A and B are shown apart, each in its own frame.
Chain A
Amino acid sequence: MAITEQDVQASEDAPSVNYLNNGYGLKSWLLTKDHKRIAVLYIISISIFFALGGLFASLVRFELMTPEGDLMSSDTYNKVFSMHGIIMVFFFLVPSIPATIGNFLVPIMVGAKDLAFPRINLLSWYVYVVAGILGTIAVVGGGVDTGWTFYTPYSSTYSNSNVILAAMAAFMAGFSSILTGLNFVVTIHTMRAPGMTWFRLPLFVWSHYATSIIMLLGTPVIAITLVLLMLERGFGFGFFDPNLGGDPVLFQHLFWFYSHPAVYIMILPSMGVMSEMVAAVARKRVFGYEFVAFSSVAIAILGFLVWGHHMFVSSQSTYAGMVFSIITFLVAVPSAIKTFNWTATLYKGSIVYDTSMFYVYGYLGLFLVGGLTGLFLSSMGLDIHLHDTYFVVAHFHYIMVGGQVMGYLGGMHFWWPKITGKMFPDICGKISALLVFLGFNFTFFPQFILGYMGMPRRYHVYPEEFQILNVASSLGASLLALGYLVPGVYLTWSIFKGPKAPDNPWGAKGLEWETTSPPPTFNFEETPVVTEEAYQYGQIEEH
């Protein structure tokens, strides 16, 4: 890579003080109000939880190597998969992109000095940390075994594990994301630079706006639902227990009213990452910008109308199920719009074969499979067969891991030079993307077949004929783990030994590439004035 001349250039242009070298003490980090430093704090904390959640995942995959339950007891297995889910969803996936890359970029992309409420931003991190500590206590102090869904009546009446503590942790993690969402909405509404109209905003900002709407409107519901659960479990209030006049299925309504939209909290941000990366990779404006922008908002709103598709085989009425099924098919449309439009953006682009491209292609493929299998599950009849099987597990991992985690990693590579001011070796990036893509498919594709053949989720003893596919899945998981470890190594290496990054290493468009790498504390030397739409990559002649 022809870094050297640019490199010299960059170091000459760079102001001596940037957000990273502006104070070194622990206090300058722990009491910072700089959104970029808070983003870094978040990156470190969610990485810890990703590792912890990954540890539980590997225990699951180890246990499932054999049809017998030989590694752990059924009770332990219940706890292991529950803690995997709870940690990954509430402590990794929900904050993954918004609190890290989003925190770093939203203010810069709208041309602002910081988020609207810097102190609230710091508070959100502290709330997250306290939630994380509570969660860790719940894990270390005996664990929790309800699954990440906390379904009643098991969670409220029968489980002997640390349900209240874990619910409290999820409750608090929810508040941290409400605070992040609030900050984004206010910032995007009120702090755009001169000339930055709504339709000049990068699509990353649009998708974070949509995510924030869900965080603001949905999270309070899960918070209250968990409070109701704690009240019933702790004090015998009768919300969900039929003996006390409650209804266990009511819990599912309340839970999924948040948690289906929440699955969009876990995918919309990565869609924003992809829009930026696709444009940079193809050197073209994202095809149908307005459609992509509005599809984010459409997902946020329609996403609230489909939760009943998780309840087809509960005692939910068939008529309600039909309505939920139809709307679920509709919500796939905006996701499809995005996928088509990204593909159309690549069409006749001048594709750059770098790490970003590998991640973009990987994401497109995995998200496509995840989204399409969602449609299988939305069909009420088919879902009776597939519900609570490994098919569902494969479906949501294709989206949440193949989509969001791939987007997170891709985005971390794409903006790494901006965040750290250092370059990583491109070849390493490509290898890691390839490892993740192969390892992922190797792990989760067999699970579609297993589920279709009837293997239920959340059991650790299974009939012998399922073993081959389970072993394949476990082997794939090792490859996938390697794919996640490798970037950890070379990215860390690059912080200390990597070459200095120029301001705009990829020749990409966007305000973040116009400031220095890493940016100064207040992001820009002077407030930028925006005169053009996003992604003006120059005219590429159309044929």
Chain B
Amino acid sequence: MKAYIARRFLYMILLLVMASMVSFIVITLPPGDYLTSYIMRLKAQGQDVGLDEELALRRQYGLDQPYYIQYFKWASQMLRGNMGRSFEFNRPVWDVIQPRLGMTILVAGVSLIFTYVMAIPIGIYSAVRQYSIGDYVFTVIGFAGVSIPNFLLALVVMVFAYRTFGTSIGGLFSIEYVDAPWSLAKIQDLIKHLPVPIIVIGLSGTAWLIRTMRATLLDELHKPYVQTARAKGLKEGKLLAKYPIRVALNPIASTVGWALPGLFSGQTIISIVLDLPTIGPILLRSLMTEDMFLAASTLFISTALTLVGTLISDMLLVWLDPRIQYT
């Protein structure tokens, strides 16, 4: 088991290195760089930027060097915990990301919990009471949840909330709390704002997980070992929980990590629509302005969080299912 974890850890580090390269390459793909778009904006405002000036700026930012040197510079800084500077904000990248990182993890984490807490009992109910009215109702909701794009849902919910309550439900805080220091009142305000983004972000995942849970459990319910347990004289409810549900939960619980990429990407769009202070909008902005270190670092952090989540879920699987060998 220890060897397995150690090996998985090594793989993860390898993957992280690769992720950092890919993040960097992605940023360099679009034509031009931050300076080209910066100068273009300056020119659009009527300022004149000379060629000498441009070269000087380019040197100052290190953009005159080949990409691989830029990458190694950035990567070696990263190793020392320095993610470089954001051109646009003219601040260290970490300072730009850090306040939003906590919110990102909070929103993703709560969405994940929401997804599982809703989907698992509903999935179990739908399987055990297959073809009941409840099963049909959840099936319809489930298909709707899978097929409605979540940004559309976000817009609909916003319009609906605006019409009925006359308030804007964007953001995670009311205006008076946005810049206020943490306090009980601020936390309460946050809790009031959370449900809408959580539901919007979590819905499609929940719908998908309900289908998976239902299908997996239906498969297990007809396995011979359930009949063996029934033939022992166990009570039906206890039997279901102890055998088929336990077995069906293994793959579900252990694929928690797989939900993370979906959550992060779904969250990016929703955060823009709902104006949430997560790293999603920053990523989009930095990609548009070609603010390379900020964009690469944000991408890298999202990937790293996903990888850690996957590692945790793989360990969960080994712990839950005795059939899986740690090799």
Partners in one complex: no
Interface residues of B (CB under 8 A from A): none
